[in-house]
Structure 1
Amino acid sequence: MSGALVAGLLAGLGIAMPVGAVATYLVAVTARTNLRTGAGAALGVATADGLYALLAVAGGAALVPVLRPFLLPLRIASAVVLIALAVHAAATAVSRYRARVTAGPAREGAPPGPGRAYLGFLGITLMNPLTVIYFAALVMGGQGTAVTDLPRQTVYVAAAFAASAAWQLLLASGGALLGRTLTGDRGRLVTATASSTLIVVLAVQLLADVIPP
């Protein structure tokens, strides 16, 4: 049982720790809103990782050929969604900054709640089926002996979810700290535009990796 626990923790961290466009967007959203919203978003990402870990241990090799035809369109759609979100965030930040400069402080609308953030980040993360292939490769490879029965599979999936959630919540906490540090109008503008630019760069890199020249 301890082998399944360790394997799940390592697998969850392995898929969560690389900082890509979704992780950058998570930090940016938390910096613009609050930690509760960021925590909801973080748990959305972790839930997607947990679901794909569950699919991997349940279906294993059978899922890989089924998902393979959808890898390219889903990754392209994911990149397009991330670019659209980044452009919208940057445009909103610039608009609010200009409004405050010309008309003074304005009352902002309520930030998105944790539930909305959870569903949004769950959807974005589910659009990357490479996650289930990652888990399937681990289960069928060196970690296969650790997840051979239902109790060990349950521990493996729970550990993968917990590890991913811990890392995503750490990123959200960093975003909340950044938001408290840069509370001025100019600081929020710089943070929003910088994060949006980085998200676009990462999303374009994602497209470059999947679209042949």
Structure 2
Amino acid sequence: MPVGAVATYLVSLTARTSLRIGASAALGVATADGLYALAAALGGTVLAAALQPVMLPLSRVSALVLAALAVHGAIGAVRRYRERRLAERTGQDPPRPGRAYLALLGITLLNPTTVVYFAALVLGSRTAEAVRPLEQGVFVLAAFAASASWQLLIAGGGALLGRTLTGHRGRLVTGLVSSGVIMLLAVRVLVSSS
């Protein structure tokens, strides 16, 4: 499984908050993957053709969202470092699990490469005969289960990272590094869409 901007943000979010919030966010990512798998299973060919004209705007929106997350994360890391707060409470309350779920669901749904990936999987597995609904259902459930297990593993890693790096400088460094990685991935999305 690739580790991209969404996974990096998930690790950073979980490290800053809690495993409960990270797990909720991870399930948001898995839900988006499941929805894309369902859309690809039901209309892979039609969906890929329909998305082609809007791929560039979707890529640009995705890059802007990633850049905003990177800037927000870096500013928050610097602010917390300057305020010298070690507690989980910063200037604002951490997101509730429901909000974390919806935020990562939305971020993942903005990723245009995800739907193309699932459409390619479905198209590549089709034979001369039509795929039966049972096979489509198994594909969707398997995609959701695989994504959920991977995202929960990433959130668990973020929780361990958060417990390990509890000092002022450790939180600053991890916040800035994760924001830097997210910004690089945003630039990569923008460059690849041009």
Distance in 1 (CA, whole Å) between partners of 2:151 and 2:130 is 24
Shift of 1:110: 2.9
CA contact (8 A) 1:71 1:128 kept: no
Distance in 1 (CA, whole Å) between partners of 2:99 and 2:113 is 24
After superposition, the Cα gap between the structure-2 partners of 1:81 and 1:107, relative to the gap in structure 1 and judged at 3 Å, is closer
After superposition, the Cα gap between the structure-2 partners of 1:106 and 1:155, relative to the gap in structure 1 and judged at 3 Å, is closer
Does 1:112 find its partner at 2:95? yes
Does 1:20 find its partner at 2:4? yes
Q: In the alignment, what sits opposite 1:138?
A: 121
Q: In the alignment, what sits opposite 1:14?
A: none
Q: Secondary structure at the match of 2:94?
A: coil
Give the TM-score, by structure 1 length.
0.84
Q: Deviations over 1:86-135 (max 9, x none)?
A: 1111111211211228xx97953431111111111111111123322222
Distance in 2 (CA, whole Å) between partners of 1:138 and 1:85 is 29
Q: In the alignment, what sits opposite 2:19?
A: 35
Task: Give the letter aligned to residue 134 of structure 1.
Answer: Y
Structure 1 spans left out of the alignment, 5+ residues: 1-16
After superposition, the Cα gap between the structure-2 partners of 1:107 and 1:55, relative to the gap in structure 1 and judged at 3 Å, is closer
Shift of 1:144: 1.9
Q: Secondary structure at the match of 2:93?
A: coil
Q: In the alignment, what sits opposite 2:145?
A: 162
- Alignment identity in percent? 64
Distance in 2 (CA, whole Å) between partners of 1:138 and 1:82 is 25
Does 1:67 find its partner at 2:51? yes
RMSD: 1.9
Q: How does 1:191-206 map to 2 (within 5 A)?
A: 191-206=174-189
Q: Deviations over 1:48-91 (max 9, x none)?
A: 11111101111121111111111111111111111111111111
Q: How many residues align?
A: 192
Q: In the alignment, what sits opposite 1:172?
A: 155
Does 1:128 find its partner at 2:111? yes
Q: Secondary structure at the match of 1:84?
A: helix
Task: Give the letter aligned to residue 193 of structure 2.
Answer: V
Q: In the alignment, what sits opposite 1:79?
A: 63
